[in-house]
Amino acid sequence: MATPLRNRVVLIVAIVVALLVLAALGTLYALQREAKAYVERALAPVGTAGSVNVAFTLSSVELTDVRLKPPPNWPTADTLRAARITITPDLRALVSHRVHIRDITVSDFTMTVLRRESGSILILPNLREEMAHSDTPTNGAQGGSGLPQQKIIDHISFENGTFDFYDRSVTNPPWRVTVNRAQASVDNIQLPALTEPTRVSIVGNVVGPEHTGRLTFDGWMQIANKDSQLRTTLRGVDVRTIDPYLLKKAGAKANVTGGTLDLDLTSTVRGYHLHAPGVVTLHNLQLSESGDAVDTFLSIPTRAAVAALKAHKGEITLHFVLDGNLRDPKFKLNENMMTELRAGFAQALGVSAQGVAKGAGQTAKGIADALRSLLQPVPAPASK
């Protein structure tokens, strides 16, 4: 009699375990579908994805063929295209209703960055507006999306992609500089406070007509108070890639026929005070002589610049320092840089690389400003 009873007990236990497993699987399936629907709803206002795949264990979310919509008057059809975006959440945080993303990986991407006529830089502007909207409190500590306002992202990486920089502050249509084979990372993003240092790193190839140079940009920024320490390095960049930053003249452009440049720039901001020492070196810079006496190369008569280059065998090096209070309306970064470099190159017999440093300096500051702009919430409109 004991054996049949034992068998019945084992059978009942097995049935109970099977029911529990089925219930758990059903719950996971329901959560998987709910997570997929949430991602699709969140993406709809700003872009599209070919597919949204949520791992059955909820350990990751993968979006393929992602396109983010541009605002009006954007120079390209998308602000971001990516073959794949993979998001790895912290499951324990989800259980406790916290938003903690361990990793976001953007693969095989093209991102467009725009500098407006005013000099301000836009990165993923529609995404930023949607983030601000979702963070608008509607109930206690939660945002308009029903999620907690506090969101932590440990790491964002961009792999095997292209950054296209369009600059309307120098030409219209905007001047384009392409950085391909790019890798980038952003670490330690804590929204909405942004009081902890966020690390940023970008490396890639700067594509030119004859030469392909190398860009590295890295450092940290404390977005809430705008303190930062950033380093920009350019090596072997084709001078013609940055023509608008190099050339100043009455009428048509002076003709740059060849050359490369190197740059090292370290910028530090503490309490809104900028200190940025740098070095620019132009290698084998070649200008064609102009028949127009008023034509200039960086405010220096082109003929004098050509003669000076011959005397220097095409190579010029300048050490410079940018220093000033970013809150002082009298301190204008571009003008300060031009004044500093014009004086230095006047001593180098009239050949100036001020535009090189200007362009790179603006880019370093601009990337930092754009990341601050992207991550800082837009103030919610006052309630009526």
Q: Cα–Cα distances in Å, from 315 out to 281, 286, 304, 309, 353?
A: 7, 10, 15, 7, 11
Question: Cα–chain-centroid distance for residue 63?
Answer: 20
Tell me the mean pLDDT in the region 166-189.
Answer: 90
As given in the structure block, the two tokens for residue 343 are 């004086």
State the Cα–Cα distance between residues 194 and 377, nearest whole angstrom. Answer: 10
Highest mean pLDDT among 131-140, 156-165, 245-254: 156-165
**pLDDT for 143 beyond 60:** no
Please state which of the ranges 248-252, 287-291, 295-299, 375-379 shows the lowest mean pLDDT: 248-252
Residues forming beta bridges with residue 215, ordered by sequence position: 204, 234
**pLDDT for 31 beyond 60:** no
Domain boundaries, the chain: 41-192, 208-378
For residue 332, the surrounding DSSP H or E stretch is none
Tell which wins on pLDDT, 298 or 267. Answer: 267
Tell which wins on pLDDT, 280 or 130. Answer: 280
**pLDDT for 195 beyond 60:** yes
Tell me the mean pLDDT in the region 165-176.
Answer: 87
Q: Is 44 exposed, middle or buried (0-12, 13-18, 19+ CB in 10 A)?
A: exposed
Please state which of the ranges 1-10, 149-158, 184-193, 280-289 shows the lowest mean pLDDT: 1-10
Q: What digits encode the pLDDT tens for the residues 304-360?
A: 666 666 666 767 787 888 888 877 776 666 566 656 655 655 565 444 444 434 444
Tell which wins on pLDDT, 249 or 176. Answer: 176
State the Cα–Cα distance between residues 154 and 161, nearest whole angstrom. Answer: 21
pLDDT of 98: 73
Sign of the CA dihedral with 132 first, then 129, 89, and 59 last: positive
As given in the structure block, the two tokens for residue 45 are 């206002």
pLDDT of 152: 86
Tell me the mean pLDDT in the region 113-142.
Answer: 72
**pLDDT for 212 beyond 90:** yes
Highest mean pLDDT among 52-61, 105-114, 163-172: 105-114
Tell which wins on pLDDT, 306 or 203. Answer: 203
Q: Cα–Cα distances in Å, from 339 out to 66, 145, 346?
A: 44, 49, 11
State the Cα–Cα distance between residues 352 and 54, nearest whole angstrom. Answer: 55
Q: What digits encode the pLDDT tens for the residues 77-98?
A: 999 999 999 988 887 776 666 7
What does pLDDT average to over the chain? 75
Q: What digits encode the pLDDT tens for the residues 244-292?
A: 765 543 333 556 778 898 989 999 999 988 898 988 888 887 777 655 5
> How many other CB atoms sit within 10 Å of the CB of residue 60?
15
pLDDT of 292: 57
pLDDT of 44: 79
Tell which wins on pLDDT, 44 or 344. Answer: 44
Contact of 198 with 374, CB cutoff 8 Å: no
Q: Which of 319, 320, 322, 288 is nearest to 303 (CA)?
A: 288
